[in-house]
Amino acid sequence: MTHANPPHDFKLELPCRPRRLRRSAALRRALEETVLTPAHLVAPLFVHDGPGGAEPVASMPGVERIPLSAVGETCRSLERLGLAGVALFPVLEARLKDAGGSAALDPDGLVLRAIREAKAAAPGFPVITDVALDPYTDHGHDGLLNESGTEVLNDATVAVLVKMAVLQAEAGADLVAPSDMMDGRVGAIRGALDAAGFTGAGILAYTAKFASAYYGPFREAVGSAAAAGTTLLDKRGYQLNPANRREALREAALDEAEAADLLMVKPAGPYLDIIRDLRERTDLPLAAYQVSGEYSQIHAAARLGWLDLERCRDESLLAIRRAGADLILTYFARAYAEARG
């Protein structure tokens, strides 16, 4: 079957033609509604204290666990690229983990030494620290368990998180980031920081952290999955139900009332509607975490030749920014910044 081409002299009577503003690259650039720069991106860093050098994370192409000795130079290089900062995640040896996550309160612990290294090398470069127990526990959960091991204890966990946050602020963290999803932890941390004299230390609250299936590669990277003996650790008792939108709004209202300085949605890409919901409800700065599973699936598809890595990377980040995020934590941060350099 053949199809006749329409005559070239065929004209629609259209006074409004949106394509007029897409005709040239210069016009398209001038009229872009969303701007994404390296200054909107935070680079997560996995830090280990072993004798070796950088260790590749098998499930996250291009991502490494870096030795403590490399933290300073890494921060300097990322600062030169114009990124917004780094988020530190410690990778502890199994022998240092226990049911109570006691290493989290070691005054000479890995993350505290990493903060000091970062600040010594790049004093003005923002450092964000994770406030949760999953890198430190031998069961992989974000808090303390009850005697039967069936439930994460809220208030007892918050008591530990408060001490963690104060230690991190004392070491020089600019923002402490409770990612545990315990009730009341933002207010308790704020009170403790102020009482200890760290009124300038901010709180980046993981406000809407969902019980997502996208965290697997991260758990491999920090070893929390290995500690639990599974990549399918069930955290639905404290992380948000992926089916719920209104619940995220309630969490945001509580964190804002407890004096959080920034709110965050995690994961980012599958939850763009939640980012937009929070953007329309709060005047606080809003962050989003493009998590390990989002990063890894883009790389996996690109390796199979199914999509263009750089274009999909950039589009995924732009979508998060367009939805309303002021900051994006992403493992693409360095590559994106280098491509813009």
Q: Is 182 exposed, middle or buried (0-12, 13-18, 19+ CB in 10 A)?
A: buried
Pairing of β 202-209 and β 262-266:
parallel
- The CATH number that applies at residue 258 is 3.20.20.70
The answer to whether the CB of 162 falls within 8 A of the CB of 178 is no
- The predicted pLDDT at position 232 comes to 62
- The predicted pLDDT at position 225 comes to 59
Q: Point out the catalytic residue in the list 97, 119, 235, 266.
A: 266
Kindly give the parts of the chain with pLDDT less than 70: 1-4, 6, 225-232
Residue 191: inside a domain, yes or no?
Answer: yes
Main-chain dihedrals φ then ψ at residue 171, nearest 5 degrees: -75, -15
What Å distances lie between residue 61 and 22, 44, 58, 153, 224, CA to CA?
A: 36, 14, 7, 36, 19
pLDDT (tens digit, 9 = 90+) per residue, 218-276?
A: 999 998 755 445 556 899 999 999 999 999 999 999 999 999 999 999 999 999 999 99
Residue 63: inside a domain, yes or no?
Answer: yes
- The predicted pLDDT at position 1 comes to 57
Residue 17: inside a domain, yes or no?
Answer: no
Residue 21: inside a domain, yes or no?
Answer: no
CA distance 334 to 38: 8
- The predicted pLDDT at position 134 comes to 95
Q: What range defines the domain where residue 289 resides?
A: 35-340
- The predicted pLDDT at position 211 comes to 97
Active site residue 11: no
Residue 305: inside a domain, yes or no?
Answer: yes
Residue 12: inside a domain, yes or no?
Answer: no
CA distance 149 to 153: 10
> Half-sphere exposure of residue 212, counting CA atoms within 13 Å on the CB side?
22
- The predicted pLDDT at position 77 comes to 98
Residue 58: inside a domain, yes or no?
Answer: yes
Count up the domains in the chain and report the number: 1
Which amino acid makes up residue 319?
A: A
Note if the bond before 242 is cis, omega within 30 degrees.
no
Q: Point out the catalytic residue in the list 97, 119, 209, 235.
A: 209
Residue 15: inside a domain, yes or no?
Answer: no
- CA 101, distance to chain mean position in Å, is 22
